[in-house]
Amino acid sequence: MKHLLVTAFSLLCFTAAFAQVKISSPYEYGQTSIKIVIAYPTSITVADSTVLEVNYGGEAYERVTGVKGLSKELSQGYTNKDRFNNRRIFRVAVYQKSKPVVYSNETEVYYQPQFTYSDAGLPSVTNLKATVIEKEGKRYLHFTWAAVPGAAAYRLFIESGSMIWEASIGDQGYFYTTSYDYLLETTGERTYVFGVGAVEGPDDNTDVPKLVNKVTIKVPAAY
């Protein structure tokens, strides 16, 4: 009986020592800030610091924010570079003096901020046209449009239901001519709705210009 009590006590101590920090997120579509709620095991009552980390789908985590001691919640606020949808995996690291770092479970958030698309003081793009072309064995949508007075750059967007996605993000999001070739990644038949927005410059922090002039194009399947 004594042996059983010692074994049970040892198991309890082992479990307490390795009890995991639990995190979750109440994030909902449209919110621009991601809140992470933290629950600690009874074995963790003090800490030097608590750090929120994020992984954008690669191999490494990066620090988002941190506080001294323990915190019941941490959050990743909106920044201009985060205006587009993406999948994020969060975890929390608890640092205690002279002890190994304690990591929480991972929680996944699909970030879908809702933005208001305004004119940014510039006229809307007009005379937008699109054709299917082929270059070096690859298919593209070739876009052209009329220059907008006062515009320093343009951005290409694809509309899907109530969402607007940036289609030119692979080219740093901005281009400076009145034409653009969009690579078609799929070979099947598909109908696209695109729009081009004019901005006053690549450092302009205003919202994406309103896509008044849009073009719908049906792309046939590749054979």
Token pair recorded at residue 25: 């997120």
pLDDT of residue 186: 76
Dist. CA 148–CA 198, nearest whole Å: 7
CB 175 within 8 A of CB 154: yes
In the DSSP assignment, the letter for residue 21 is B
Dist. CA 22–CA 38, nearest whole Å: 6
Task: List domains and CATH numbers for the chain.
Answer: 20-111 (2.60.40.10), 129-219 (2.60.40.10)
Q: What mean pLDDT do residues 23-30 have?
A: 87
Mean pLDDT of the chain: 77
Q: What is the pTM of this model?
A: 0.49
Dist. CA 107–CA 26, nearest whole Å: 11
H or E segment at 199?
strand 190-199
Is 66 or 169 the better-scoring residue by pLDDT?
66
Question: Tens digits of per-residue pLDDT, 187-218?
Answer: 788 888 888 877 765 445 444 545 656 788 88
Instruction: Pick the closest to residue 164 from 69, 63, 85, 92 (CA basis).
Output: 85
Is 124 or 118 the better-scoring residue by pLDDT?
124
